[in-house]
Amino acid sequence: MLFETEAGPSVFRPEFALDLDAGSEQIQLVVARIAKGATLGAMVDEVDRRTRPRRFGPNDILQVPDVGLSLEHRFRELEGPSRRILNPGCEGLYIDVAKQSIRFDLDKGGAELRAEAAIVLRPIPARFDCDGPFLVFMRRRAAKRPFFALWVDGPEVLKPLGRLQSP
């Protein structure tokens, strides 16, 4: 189909794949108009299989709306003290927070992609309860013998539990 534009005639292509920065050695930016596939991966494979991405020429016209995507996802299924890390050296730790954020912008100036992943590890606290007989003593750090020692094995030296007061 031939269309008339301000710059002259142009050919409308209903399906295409354009490599917008073919000179880049590190990153390839492709815009493709194709039929929707079952998955994103299947669509990328289809572009690679069916076509050789066409280079965007200096006189070509590309009309793409500005795109702005901002997502943050928490991986709650990985979080919590019940999901301990088993790697050597990480025993006793768990993932308190696991999240990923993605920001993608596409406009006439180009494309920008920012991604960040954050994992917050917390130690699984050890619990130390004196719920049976116990020893308490005090001594000077450099001394071998304490200047005070007490073996607690009965209620005689225990204070009564305080009661909660209502406001």
pLDDT digits (tens, 9 = 90+) for 85-129: 999 998 899 999 999 999 999 988 889 999 999 999 999 888 888
Say if 156 falls within a structural domain.
no
Say if 45 falls within a structural domain.
yes
Residues of the chain with pLDDT under 70: 1-12, 51, 53-54, 56, 162-167
Nearest-CA neighbor of 11 among 19, 2, 20? 2
Question: What is the rounded distance in angstroms from the CA atom of residue 134 to the CA atom of residue 103?
Answer: 56
Say if 58 falls within a structural domain.
yes
**Whole-structure pTM value:** 0.60
Domain total in the chain: 1
Give the range of the structural domain holding residue 6, as residue numbers without chain letter.
1-63
Instruction: Report whether 77 contacts 98 (CB < 8 A).
Output: no
| Sequence-distant (≥ 6) Cβ neighbours of residue 123 within 8 angstroms | 92, 93
